[in-house]
Structure formats: C-alpha cells, structure tokens
Chain A
Amino acid sequence: MDITETQEGSKAVAILDGRLDTATAALTETRLLTMLEKGSVIADLSEVRYVSSAGLRVLLKAAKQAKATGASFAVVGLQAPVREVFEISGFDKIIPAFATRAEAAAA
C-alpha cells in the first residue's frame, strides 16, 4: 500500500494504491488520522482494488474522527468490489462517496 498526499481545492487528498487489508490497515489508519488532525481529507481509492473488514474499520475510524473534530472525510473512486463491501456494511449511508476528487472537494 502506497499513500501519496496531494491537495484538491482546500482539502487534503490521500491517494491510496494497493490492497487495504489486515497487513496495511495500521499504516493507513495512522496516515489518515494524522492528516485529519490538520483538516478535511479525501481518500482517493481509485487504485485500491480490495478492501477487507480491516480496511473498512480504518475508514470508519477516519469518518468518526472527522465527525468528532468538525472536519469532513470522503472517499473517491470506489471500484466495484470495494463498493460492494461498502454497501453491504452500510457505509454508503455514513461515509460520503464520490466519483472524482473535484466532486468531493466541492461538497
């Protein structure tokens, strides 16, 4: 899992590349929560082909922390298998998902 940071409008973007699974969950969580300390974050998952329950927990923690601090957290570019687990877990109701970073930044 590689994570690259960039900016979209006024929001920080974390570009994730690779599997978000048991092995990569901890480092992803650390990075997202650290970024969220400074403000809103968009997680770009266009290059993430796989998210397991360990990965879902990271996204949930990020969303919870954002809510607690008044920042926003959104995901972008969910691939079909990722969208499937997102929806099965009910995350589509609690974590905003967009097709592009631009849409996420404008929200």
Chain B
Amino acid sequence: MLPFHLRLPATLDSVTELLDALEAYAEQADIPPGIAARLALVAEEVAANVAMHAAGASFFELRVTPDAGALGLCLEDDGPEYDPLTRATPDTGAALEDRDVGGLGVHLVRELTRDARYERADGLNRLLCSLPLGG
C-alpha cells in the first residue's frame, strides 16, 4: 500500500486541498471508504485547528505510512506548543440544550484512532496515531 506525504501552508484553504489530496490518495492506495473517512477526519481536525488557532504557524505536514495492518499517521506543525489530546472530552450523554459545541474533533480523533500520542520536539508539535485497516 502506498504512503502519503503532504506539507501545506497553515491556512484554511489548505484544509480543502488536504482533503482533496487524501481523497485521491485513498483511491490510488485502495483504502476502504470507512478508513479513508477516518483518515480525513483526523487530518482535517488537526489541520483546521492549526490554521485557526496556532498563532504564527507557517506549515502543517501529514505523513501516512502503511505498516502491518494499520496506517501510521504523523501530523506536524510549527505553531506554539499545543497538545490537542489534553482537550476535555465532551459529555456525549448530555441533553441537547446542555451539549457544548467544543471538543468534538479531538473526541473523534481519540475514538477513531489507536495509540494517539503527542510530542513536542525541534519547535514542532507532533501528533502520532494509528488507524487499523481491519475496521
């Protein structure tokens, strides 16, 4: 299975470009639709957060490496130190009027991937996680 690598400016326009590129990659690499959707969700979540909130970030970079029944994801940006995994989980059992709009993206990342972990090194935020290919 093919790997994927893309580095883009940290802008909202890049999010669309990233999603289009991932659609093409999923087709070329024969990635099942459900897995492709999860891949796009994780990538969009991190890329959009960098574009909207990472003051002074200049780039966002995604590497996808197929390995032993899973896709390994590495997402990097040069914004200020920020670990997205520390964001509180939304209360998914709350009533409609009590539901908060925030925290949904990180919740999806945590639920849809395995072994998600954050590192800060060489002035970069790095989020690593794995998408099992078995479903």
Where the two chains meet, the residues of A that have a C-beta atom closer than 8 Å to any C-beta of B are 19, 21-23, 49-50, 52-54, 56-57, 60-61, 63-64, 67, 80-81, 84-85, 88-90, 93-95
- State in angstroms the CA–CA spacing of A63 and B98 once bound together: 12
Find chain B residues with CB under 8 A from A63 CB: 96
Contact in complex: A23, B16 (CB < 8 Å): yes
Mostly helix, strand, loop or mixed at chain A's interface?
A: helix
Find chain A residues with CB under 8 A from B90 CB: 89-90
Contact in complex: A52, B99 (CB < 8 Å): no
Contact in complex: B96, A67 (CB < 8 Å): yes
1/0 contact string of B31-44 vs chain A (CB within 8 Å): 00110011011001
Contact in complex: A94, B108 (CB < 8 Å): no
Find chain A residues with CB under 8 A from B45 CB: 52-53
Find chain A residues with CB under 8 A from B115 CB: none
When A and B form their complex, what is the total count of cross-chain residue pairs whose Cβ atoms lie within 8 Å? 78
- State in angstroms the CA–CA spacing of A57 and B96 once bound together: 12
Find chain A residues with CB under 8 A from B12 CB: 22-23
- State in angstroms the CA–CA spacing of A56 and B48 once bound together: 14
Q: List 19 A-B contacts (CB under 8 A).
A: A22-B15, A23-B12, A49-B33, A52-B44, A53-B41, A53-B45, A53-B104, A53-B108, A56-B104, A63-B96, A64-B97, A80-B34, A81-B34, A85-B41, A88-B111, A89-B90, A90-B94, A90-B99, A93-B92
Mostly helix, strand, loop or mixed at chain B's interface?
A: helix
Please give the distance in Å from B109's CB to the nearest CB on chain A.
9
Interface size on B, residues (CB 8 A): 29
Please give the distance in Å from B13's CB to the nearest CB on chain A.
8
- State in angstroms the CA–CA spacing of A90 and B111 once bound together: 12
User: Is B121 in the interface zone, CB < 8 Å from A?
Assistant: no
Given the known inter-chain contacts A53-B45, A67-B96, A90-B93, please indicate yes or no for A21 contacting B108, CB distance below 8 A. Answer: no
